[in-house]
Amino acid sequence: MLINCVAYQDGKKLADLPIDDISDYVERPDCFVWVALLDATPDELKQMQHEFSLHELAVEDAQRGHQRPKIEEYGDSLFAVVKTVEMVGDELVLGEVDVFVGANYVLSSRTNCSQGFLGVRARAEREPHLLRQGSAFVLYALMDAVVDRYFPVLDALESELEAIEDRMFDSGTERVNIERLYQLKRKVMVLRHVVGPLMEAVGKLHGGRVPPLAHDTQEYFRDVHDHLARINATLDSIRDTISTAIQVNLSMVAIDESEVNKQLAAWAAIFAVFTAFAGIWGMNFKFMPELDWQYGYPAAVAVMCGACGYMYYLFKRSGWL
């Protein structure tokens, strides 16, 4: 589905174009065309391939989807695959933005991603001195928008971790914690696979050998790279913490169990003493003088309770109860 198809000149909007005119405008050296597609059909992509003379392999990748984030050079043009991440309920939903960038065109194709990039275009149009920098700046603006949307997801993951940590040392929460830690780990890994390869790819747009297209916008891409590095470091840190937390959880289970065991042992001991006395006085020997005493019974119960009470006190003192 075509969302926008606009020609710009000198940083200012020239006209909304019909698709068939694109190739004419692309040939004009002072002009620059920015097209946005949503859930593009194979036919639309074929048409765009024809208008912009896109490389076959790049178009194939865009059609198939499920690519790793990457930025590839095809001759003078770039093909970028960027993943969007959205929190829907408790789940991470991945979408994909494919961007074809040439000297004077940008074609972005968005798939499975509820939030659009109209804001990016609007902001760019409000700042002609930036838009004048051409297609590489638009690529930057799109990437920056996608990456900015990673931060709330990252924050959600961090909050989830903190929520787990708050309950981690409470006994009885181990089953829930371990399950939540596992789910969190899975989400962190999804996000890492979105962020990691992109960071690596963006790293090639500044510093060493940079594609000519991106040469004058290096500092902008370094900024994106820096954001991605920050997200990545935080993800690493969450991941490391989760590993430790799983180990700690296991320790907590073991500690809890060992305390239950101690209580079990203590009570078993107390009742064993009680039963032992009762067993003695339940024996059927003929000559057991205490059985005939007037206050033998209450005395016996007192002795039994006394012994048990003393044991209870001992166990209490040593921390077993």
- Return the structure tokens found at 179: 């399950």
Q: Which residue's CB is nearer to its own copies, number 89 or number 172?
A: 172
Interior angle at CA 127, CA 123 and CA 131, nearest 5:
95
Q: Which of 226, 309, 313, 316 binds its own copies (CB under 8 A)?
A: 226
Q: Which residue's CB is nearer to its own copies, number 106 or number 252?
A: 252
Q: How far is the CB of 91 from its own copies (least distance, A)?
A: 14
Q: Which of 18, 27, 89, 284 binds its own copies (CB under 8 A)?
A: 284
Q: Candidates 15-23, 27-35, 84-92, 292-300 — which segment interacts with its own copies by CB under 8 A? A: 292-300
- Return the structure tokens found at 15: 């006209």
Site for its own copies in 40-59 (CB under 8 A): 55, 57
* Cβ count near 120 (within 10 Å): 18
Q: Alpha helices of the chain — where are they, by DSSP H? A: 22-27, 42-52, 56-64, 118-126, 128-131, 135-148, 150-167, 174-203, 218-281, 296-317
Is residue 256 part of the contact set for its own copies (CB under 8 A)?
yes
Cα 20 to chain centroid distance, Å, stands at 42
Quick one: which of 204, 185, 255, 200 has its CA closest to 232?
A: 200
Is residue 94 part of the contact set for its own copies (CB under 8 A)?
no
Q: How far apart are CA 66 and CA 96, in angstroms?
A: 8
Q: How far is the CB of 246 from its own copies (least distance, A)?
A: 5
- Binding residues for its own copies, rule CB under 8 A, total 89
Task: Enumerate residues 6+ apart whose C-beta is below 8 A from 174.
Answer: 249, 252, 253, 256
Q: Candidates 29-37, 43-51, 99-107, 289-297 — which segment interacts with its own copies by CB under 8 A? A: 289-297
Is residue 278 part of the contact set for its own copies (CB under 8 A)?
yes
Site for its own copies in 148-187 (CB under 8 A): 168-169, 172, 174-175, 178-179, 181-182, 185-186
Q: How far is the CB of 241 from its own copies (least distance, A)?
A: 7
Q: Which residue's CB is nearer to its own copies, number 14 or number 273?
A: 273
Is residue 65 part of the contact set for its own copies (CB under 8 A)?
no
Site for its own copies in 131-150 (CB under 8 A): none
Q: How far apart are CA 165 and CA 248, in angstroms?
A: 11
Q: Which of 141, 153, 198, 245 binds its own copies (CB under 8 A)?
A: 245
> One-letter amino acid identity for 55?
H
Is residue 273 part of the contact set for its own copies (CB under 8 A)?
yes
Is residue 307 part of the contact set for its own copies (CB under 8 A)?
no
Q: How far is CA 184 from CA 115, 124, 232, 239, in A?
A: 24, 36, 15, 9
Q: Candidates 16-24, 101-109, 113-121, 240-248 — which segment interacts with its own copies by CB under 8 A? A: 240-248
Q: Which residue's CB is nearer to its own copies, number 203 or number 296?
A: 296
The kind and range of the H/E element at 96 are strand 91-102
Is residue 15 part of the contact set for its own copies (CB under 8 A)?
no
Q: How far apart are CA 43 and CA 267, in angstroms?
A: 77
The kind and range of the H/E element at 7 are strand 2-9
Q: Which residue's CB is nearer to its own copies, number 24 or number 60?
A: 60
